[in-house]
Amino acid sequence: MKKIISLLLCVGLIVSLLGVSDVKASDNNTPENALILKSNDIINDSLTSDEAEDWYKYVVPESGCEYFELISVNNEDFYMTIIELDEYDIRRDLKSYHGNEVIKTSEYSFEKGHTLYVKISRYANNNREYEYKLISHFSSDPLKNCKWAIKKADTEIDANDISSKVNICSVLNKQDDVDWYKYIVLNENPVSFKLTNTVNWDDYKITVYEYDSNDILRELGTFSGLEAISEEYTYKKGQIIYVKVQNCYGNSSHETKYIISVNDSFKPASKLDAPISMLVGTNIVVGIADAGATVNVKYGKKTYKAISDENGFYRVKTATLKKGKKLTIWQTVDKKSSEKTTVKVVEKY
């Protein structure tokens, strides 16, 4: 009897020890049994049949951005579906992703405590084991360095002011919701506008306007996408530009946050490479610049200039180039000068 009890105790101990192992896909094949996924976790697992599914539960640790990455170990086809638990505790599919090497989701931005599920399934007609690696990526709140729009602006008359000094964040609340912004030109640098959708399940668009000479609001262009960036515009100081933000398709029924920013920083002309010809004994410096640029060559105390042709080719006449002397070159485009390049005159190539 004592031997039987001892044997049972040994078996129990072995089972207990074996139980202290990683949770496998077979244990998390339903939402109710989902394996807890934490920020920046890396999980190695596999699917062993065509009907198999692995479920992971992710609770947002703090306001920020998260995206998920699945790596197929042997390049088999996988599906990764992102699901959220809404305010009624109902699971709702956000988006499904498919691939056979590396699958990366869009970035999602939710408040602390929001629950997401990641479902892994596969596309196959066999019962081989499909191995994968699941990685959760998290970064802090993209909105924390933004300033919230002061008021709700449904028309250009009520538009909120924007500038390059601070990014503005706001919310679109319903399908036909729009937000208007007003930008006053402070310098004659090119200006562009960028909209970043912090949730990334709908495309959004920004439309840029100006008032023409007849005080009629005129559309300059519309730009759409999960990250919509306008063309660059150049205006005189004091001119006013308006920007309207809206959902591309008008089919968003949930609150979505976004960031709008302005780029009007000074952009110098690109730095020139060394000339392709600057030989001792000649008086010509030859090279490539931007088309139509003014190319400046400083040699000794004098600066010599020429305009590059439509292909960017330039020939600048100088004093006779001497061995060991240096010359400095730069280009000017739209009154903006590039960084200078200093080179030595050469005897041969």
Asked if 34 and 82 sit in the same domain, the reply is yes
Confirm whether 6 is domain-assigned.
no
Kindly report the three-state secondary structure assignment for every residue of 61-97: CCCEEEEEEEEECCCCCEEEEEEEECCCCCEEEEEEE
Write down which residue in 229, 263, 297 finishes a domain.
263
Q: Which of 252, 257, 201, 225 is nearest to 84 (CA)?
A: 201
Clarify whether residues 254 and 289 are in a common domain. no
HSE, CB side, 13 Å, CA atoms: give it for residue 217. 11
Say whether both 119 and 193 belong to one domain: no
- DSSP, collapsed to helix, strand or coil, labels residue 273 as coil
Query: What per-residue confidence (pLDDT) applies to 175?
Result: 66
pLDDT band for position 17 (50/70/90)?
very low
Q: What is the dihedral of CA 81, 82, 83, 87, to 10 degrees?
A: -170
Residues 185 and 202 in one domain: yes
What CATH code is carried by the domain that includes residue 31? 2.60.120.510
- Of the pLDDT bands very low, low, confident and very high (cuts 50, 70, 90), residue 18 is very low
pLDDT on residue 313: 93
Task: Establish if 5 belongs to a structural domain.
Answer: no
Would you say residue 80 lies in a domain? Answer: yes
| Residues 297, 301: Cα–Cα separation, whole Å | 11
Domain final residue pick, 89, 112, 140: 140
Q: Are residues 116 and 169 in the same domain?
A: no
Q: Give the domain-ending residue among 140, 158, 181.
A: 140
The pLDDT of residue 159: 92
Write the CB contacts of 59 (distance below 8 Å, at least 6 apart in sequence): 36, 113, 114, 115, 116
pLDDT tens readout for residues 109-128: 777 888 999 999 987 677 78
Looking at the fold, whether 57 and 126 belong to one and the same domain comes out as yes
Same domain, 244 and 191: yes
Instruction: Kindly report which listed range (134-143, 165-174, 195-204) carries the lowest average pLDDT score.
Output: 195-204
Task: Tell me, yes or no, whether 175 and 249 share the same domain.
Answer: yes
Q: Which residues are CB-contacts of 17 (< 8 A; sequence separation ≥ 6)?
A: none
- Residue 11 domain-assigned (yes or no): no
Q: Is the whole-model pTM more than 0.85?
A: no
Assigned domain for 19 exists: no
325 located within any domain: yes
CATH, residue 324: 2.60.40
Structural domain range at position 165 = 147-263
Q: Quick one: 258 and 330 in the same domain?
A: no
Q: What local confidence, expressed as pLDDT, does residue 318 receive? A: 94
For every residue of 4-33, DSSP letters joined together read HHHHHHHHHHHHHHHHSSPPPGGG--SGGG
Q: pLDDT averaged over the chain?
A: 82
Q: For residue 349, is it within any domain?
A: no
Residue 104 forms part of a structural domain: yes
Closest to 225 in 3D by CA, of 81, 139, 65, 106: 106
Residues 120, 136: Cα–Cα separation, whole Å:
13
125 shares a domain with 165 = no
- pLDDT value of residue 60: 87
Q: Helix or strand or coil: residue 150? A: coil
Q: What is the pLDDT of residue 82?
A: 92
Domain tally for the chain? 3
Share of the chain above pLDDT 70, in %: 85
Count, in order, helices (H) and strands (E) of the chain.
1, 27
pLDDT at 10: 46
Q: Output the domain CATH number for residue 152.
A: 2.60.120.380
- Claim to verify: residue 259 and residue 330 sit in the same structural domain: no
Same domain, 258 and 323: no
Alpha-carbon span 246 to 205, nearest angstrom: 6
